[in-house]
A and B are shown apart, each in its own frame.
Chain A
């Protein structure tokens, strides 16, 4: 496989919320939920996004407006082109036979949207800071919401809501994507309740195919061995919930650095 972007034409655009748009384009790419693609704007930059919608040959990426790159994606019109390459990464290990729950924090729900499509009988939790940030309300009609300000659904974090739900309902597996602090707590909760869990990690991704080393998390390449990791794998990864690398390779607190925020909040992966 040659790792170069191919140009695709945007054929539809859906406004999901004031800050999130889903851009649709035709591609025959064989995408597994949890994988990611690299999106290229010529002469500007290239960044990782999950595919949030798959309908035959029509793929979609949900883009949170967050910085220069995503601003430019939001300015795209039907008929404009973007470059894509991939898919990259391992994807979720989907187990339709299990009672499962997906937990999406912020734009992290975009990484889980194709999981929800594939596993129809699951509990869905979407958490945001406030009601206007909630997306996919028409697409998934049976979501449980939580907002930090209480403007929609449960007031509090996704972790609080999940803890509440597991008291009444037995899950065998949780799929999650969102801020790492949230995922770290969800993993702790799952360990306590003996629930299997897969998380989709955010790291600064450069090559996407495992040779540059920039997305290292304790010796695991997020772009190849990840971005999806299981609890046994996370148990061996000290950096999970703690450390991420900046563009320079400097190790910083994963929960507390602006430069990282575009990957953890900007369309996760």
Chain B
């Protein structure tokens, strides 16, 4: 059989394979992003950057359970000025790098994106969907069609980079919000952010474990919901979808692409299988393609639809 093609496109960005490091996992430094690329990722996403520095929530910020992970990190980041310095030569990473940008008001997003001028990111991702940080995402009312349209439009005016909007699975009208993003000039939708928030209580301590008490749920528990969101979005919008949520094996990635994803985000998978999860997923995708006589990964995209 001829050589397998695992390369995909998300808008005008060419990826050597469909795996993308999701935001919030490992993306604190350029050195770690480079290491993720060396471990096979097709693209990487930074930890989210805000206008001002943030220490985030106190520990425990990340714990796991039988079906995934619960986190309330609280967007710790050094603020755009220092983050831009950290990621100044982001091209050294060797694969396309996506800058995750957060804000409370639409002007904040604009400021952060402007602060990234002079860096070499391949795209901007805007999560309007964090379920556990006051002033951001769902807790700032950013998960509505109107807010999504306004923030996306504002950022669209100040950058020519592809814009990915990251949406919450916890909102019934995900397609409506995605359409608002598309109408405002978004180039792709990242679906989905963590769900919830959820809570885990230590029954001996009789207290929630996370210091913030609640946090976003990711991993296996999220996957069927993420897959459904991607499936719905594929029917509703014309821009590409990055399917994110519980993908940790090649079979999961293929499933997500059959639902309609052009590429897949990997986050909690790093916990399940280690930093080389990207390599492992690509090997598993390749093996499945060989077994099923498929030479081009792109041919399975949306295969689950009627």
Hey, which bits of chain A sit against chain B, CB under 8 A? 2-7, 38, 40, 42-47, 81, 83, 206-207, 209-214, 216, 218-219, 221, 224, 245-251
Contacts and interface: CB of A to CB of B under 8 A. Distances in A.
B54 A248 contact: yes
Contact of B34 (A45, A219, A247, A250): A219
B305 to A, nearest CB: 33
Nearest to B82: A250
A3 B271 CA distance: 10
22 contacts: A3-B63, A4-B65, A5-B60, A5-B209, A7-B202, A45-B211, A46-B211, A206-B73, A207-B61, A210-B271, A211-B62, A211-B270, A213-B25, A213-B28, A216-B31, A221-B26, A221-B275, A245-B28, A246-B78, A248-B54, A248-B56, A249-B78
A269 to B, nearest CB: 14
A206 B73 CA distance: 9
Contact of A206 (B62, B69, B79, B205): B62
Given A218-B31, A245-B29, A249-B78, A206 B59 contact: yes
Interface residues of B, number: 46
A105 B47 CA distance: 34
Secondary structure of the B contact surface, majority rule: loop
Contacts of A209: 64, 271
B40 to A, nearest CB: 15
B65 A247 contact: no
A16 B62 CA distance: 33
Contacts of A83: 202, 205, 209
Contacts of B270: 210-211
B63 A4 contact: yes
Interface in B68-90: 69, 73, 76-79, 82-83, 86
B204 A247 contact: no
Nearest to B79: A248
A69 B303 CA distance: 54
B299 to A, nearest CB: 33
A2 B66 contact: yes
Given A42-B202, A43-B211, A219 B32 contact: yes
A249 B76 contact: yes
A250 B85 CA distance: 10
Nearest to B60: A46
A210 to B, nearest CB: 7
| A-B complex: 6 closest residue pairs judged by Cβ atoms | A219-B31, A46-B59, A250-B78, A7-B204, A213-B28, A213-B26
Given A7-B205, A211-B26, 4 more contacts: A81-B204, A213-B29, A248-B54, A249-B28
A250 B207 CA distance: 31
A163 B31 CA distance: 34
A140 to B, nearest CB: 32
Contacts of A7: 202, 204-205
A3 B219 CA distance: 14
B245 interface: no
B106 interface: no
A45 B270 CA distance: 25
A61 to B, nearest CB: 16
